[in-house]
Amino acid sequence: MKRKPGFKFLMISLCLVLMVSMFSGCSSDSTKQDAANQQTEQNQTSKEQDTADSPSAELTFKPGTYTGEAKGKEGALKLEVTFTEHEIADIKVVSQGETAGIGDAAIESLKEQILSGQTLAVDAVSGASQTSEGLIAAVEDAVSQAGGDVEALKNRAVKKENEGKVEQLEADVVVVGAGASGVSAAVSAADQGAKVILIEKTATIGGASNLSWAGKFYNSSASISDGLKVEVEKEIAEWIYNNHWRVDAAAIRQYVTQSGETYDWLAKKGYQTTFLNFAGEPLHVLPSYEDRQPLLRAMLHASVEQNGGQVITETTAKELITNESGAVTGVIAEQSDGTKLNIAAKTVVMATGGYAANKEMVKEAFGFEGVNGGLGQNIGEGLKMAWAAGAKVPDNFGGQMLHQTLARATDKLKEQYSAFEASYPLMLTYLPNFMNVGPSGARFRDEAATLEAVAAANTSAFNGPHHLVIVSQSQLDALTKKGMNGVHAPKLPGMPPEFYAAFQEQFKLDTPWTNAQQIFDKMVENGDGYKGNTIEELAKNAGMDVEVFSKAYNNYQAAIKNGVDTEFGKAKEYLEPMSGNGPYYAIIAEVNNLGSVGGLLVNTEFQVLNDQRVPVKGLYAVGLESEGVLFNDTYVGNGVGIGYSFTSGRLGGERAASEALTAK
Ligand SMILES: Cc1cc2nc3c(=O)[nH]c(=O)nc-3n(C[C@H](O)[C@H](O)[C@H](O)COP(=O)(O)OP(=O)(O)OC[C@H]3O[C@@H](n4cnc5c(N)ncnc54)[C@H](O)[C@@H]3O)c2cc1C
């Protein structure tokens, strides 16, 4: 076999997968064998558990209603749990601030599992692990108060209701993954007359679009009526040039010229976005967070379900079915109750959103993990299934959607201080007025890059998974007294709105940063930043090279003094003075990775290509997993993630339906 770039990665990952996963492998035969072996082992284990920890073993509680509390993803989660003498009778949520549509769906699903199984041996819901852990911990808290045995409840394994059950289903088109791209593909395929089955791993519809802000649809009717007409040929030429010609020019053209129609298509279906001329970029702000999921569900209902198709959630695709000639003819999936679905289909559309939550894969493909700011359930299963069915690993595989930076300190500080105070270190990672250095201590950019999300993240990533923001005592004093005005911040930190939703009132340039010293000392005490009385001491404490950092610091001081940054050309107004006296602090700023980009090479019909760049019959891909055709390495864009997901889904679904219906 001729080896190609990417082959090594493919073989390593596939073999690793063979070792650790029950559903993937180096060949489809070994996959099946492996899966069969592991399935037997699993069945044995659950049988053993059934006898060892019988669900009927008696539980005892002090009857009554108890308030259980724990930390969720977005602060405290408070429950009222009612016990009878031998039963957890009811769980009521008193207060929670979890992500609309994701966290609350997880809470409902877990409540149901705990009550019906009378167990705490429940799995965290994919995509909402922190919320799940919070809910389980809050129930544990109440169980303890009611004198119940938490450990016994945690070990009380309950066999999945339908383990061993197999169902056969049939569709023209199966779509795997219900993010923006999968929903669009399912809807547009159904609109062509295809019977569609959409399967989704979680209880949530909409995937990462539920967390997003806006999408780019070029020259949409809304954009034109607002007076913004993008020069298409110029846009395409610059896009190709900026990505060093290592892109699929036809795919870019297709997105730029056809995304406008997607805006109208969505609006007609009730998913109304709001046009925003964002400094010349045609962005379209998504509906309110609460409305998005219901709107997508309504689209699916009107097109997929009304036409005989199905939307099956809490169901994970495990393997693609292929025939003797290598064509993809269906999907094997597993429902949360243990039922195995064998779904026969004429075409399959992969829309599983990539692998950003799979640390090992990101490290192997990209060089480091960063922080996964995307969906926790996107672990590359869809890509592995498609590769096992003959799809090519693209030559530019490894691209990520690096967006903004995060301060490692935020989470722990949120447990100890108000959301505003806890976000002090985070806010400074978005201001151009502070010295930024890489892990070695060398300065690495014009810090004005922090004003733009993609530039901020990519300049940092080029220097490693994190960088350090240096803050002097005089700067801290100025922040304490006069807020961000004290350090001449040019504008509010450009963080996504959800980052400051909890302190909107205080998020102003002139709000004094009370307690700043205490917060920064706590950050250091928590191990999420460093402090030194001198520059040398800071370098030592932060693990930087003393000589490298001292030199960078001295050069930066000279730039401040002279008003000229000869190294990086930072504008004079951002060369904010730093006191010569310590202490100094270093904030650990990490790269936020919103998703992986690419993994399946597609043509403009969204057919997945094999190693010979010929379509794998019956297999399509849309959304992030097909997005490597637009970018040379990593994502460069504003709104392209959403714009392309909806557009590729709309077009890819249409084409998958057309092939399926011709094959009828
Ligand atoms: C916090 C955040 C903010 C963002 N903000 C913006 C923005 O403002 N503008 C913009 O353009 N882009 C933004 N993006 C990126 C954008 O959201 C994504 O590019 C886009 O939503 C991806 O859509 P998708 O359908 O390809 O994948 P996803 O939305 O990831 O959907 C994939 C779906 O597949 C499911 N799945 C995974 N594995 C399986 C399996 N084995 N079986 C069945 N189902 C499976 C997942 O549960 C998920 O629902 C943001 C992303 C994040 C994380």
Cα–Cα separations (whole angstroms), residue 205 to 77, 448, 620, 621: 23, 37, 20, 18
Cα–Cα separations (whole angstroms), residue 627 to 144, 243, 616, 643: 49, 13, 18, 11
Residue 25 is predicted with a pLDDT of 30
Range from 17-21, 358-362, 419-423, 436-440 carrying the lowest mean pLDDT:
17-21
CB of 377 sitting under 6 A from ligand 1: yes
Probe ligand 1: pick from 200, 296, 361, max atoms within 8 Å of CB? 200
Probe ligand 1: pick from 109, 624, 626, 635, max atoms within 8 Å of CB? 624
Q: Which residues pair with 214 in a beta bridge?
A: 285
Quote the tokens at residue 164.
């061993």
Residue 285, φ and ψ in degrees, nearest 5: -75, 135
Residue 24 is predicted with a pLDDT of 31
Range from 45-59, 104-118, 520-534, 564-578 carrying the lowest mean pLDDT:
45-59
Angle, nearest 10°, between helix axes 473-482 and 516-525?
A: 130
Asked whether the beta carbons of 432 and 490 are under 8 A apart, the reply is yes
Q: What are all long-range contacts of 540-543, with beta carbons under 8 Å and residues at least 24 apart?
A: 541/586, 542/441, 542/468, 542/586, 543/439
CB of 641 sitting under 6 A from ligand 1: yes
End-to-end CA distance of the chain: 35
**Cβ count near 321 (within 10 Å):** 19
Q: Is the pLDDT of residue 576 over 50?
A: yes
Residue 264 is predicted with a pLDDT of 97
**According to the 3-state scheme, what is the secondary structure of 524-573?**
HHCCCEEEECCHHHHHHHCCCCHHHHHHHHHHHHHHHHHCCCCCCCCCHH
Distance (Å, whole) CA 133 – CA 113: 14
Please give the single-letter amino acid code of residue 560.
I
Residue 55 is predicted with a pLDDT of 46
Quote the tokens at residue 466.
């994190």
Quote the tokens at residue 170.
């049939």
CB of 201 sitting under 6 A from ligand 1: yes
Cα–Cα separations (whole angstroms), residue 553 to 401, 557, 575: 31, 6, 13
Provide the 8-state DSSP code for 231: -
Please give the single-letter amino acid code of residue 156.
R
Confidence of residue 465 (pLDDT cuts 50, 70, 90): confident
Alpha helices in 347-501 (DSSP H): 359-366, 381-388, 410-416, 419-422, 424-428, 453-461, 473-482, 497-500
Residue 129 is predicted with a pLDDT of 76
Residue 266 Cα to ligand 1 middle (Å): 17
Average pLDDT over residues 617-640: 95
Residue 645 Cα to ligand 1 middle (Å): 8
Encode pLDDT of 234-276 as tens digits: 999 999 999 999 999 999 999 999 999 999 999 999 999 999 9
CB of 317 sitting under 6 A from ligand 1: yes
Q: Is the pLDDT of residue 218 over 60?
A: yes
**According to the 3-state scheme, what is the secondary structure of 50-62?**
HHHCCCCCCCCCC
Residue 97 is predicted with a pLDDT of 66
Confidence of residue 600 (pLDDT cuts 50, 70, 90): very high
| Ligand 1 atom closest to residue 204's alpha carbon, by position in its atom list | 49
Q: Is the pLDDT of residue 45 over 90?
A: no
Encode pLDDT of 339-378 as tens digits: 999 999 999 999 999 999 999 999 999 988 789 989 989 9
Confidence of residue 95 (pLDDT cuts 50, 70, 90): confident
Please give the single-letter amino acid code of residue 389.
A
Residue 615, φ and ψ in degrees, nearest 5: -60, 135
Higher pLDDT, 74 or 627: 627
| Burial class, 503, CB count within 10 angstroms (exposed 0-12 / middle 13-18 / buried 19+) | middle
CB of 382 sitting under 6 A from ligand 1: yes
Residue 102 is predicted with a pLDDT of 63
Q: Is the pLDDT of residue 23 over 80?
A: no
Asked whether the beta carbons of 185 and 649 are under 8 A apart, the reply is yes
Indicate the helix (H) or strand (E) that contains 262: helix 249-268
| Ligand 1 atom closest to residue 205's alpha carbon, by position in its atom list | 49
User: Rg (Cα) of the chain, in Å, rounded?
Assistant: 26
| Ligand 1 atom closest to residue 625's alpha carbon, by position in its atom list | 26
Token pair 């299934």 is found at 385
Identify which of 514, 504, 518 has the alpha carbon closest to the alpha carbon of residue 480. Answer: 514
Quote the tokens at residue 111.
């409540």
Residue 296 Cα to ligand 1 middle (Å): 14
| Separation of CA 320 from chain center | 24
CB of 636 sitting under 6 A from ligand 1: no
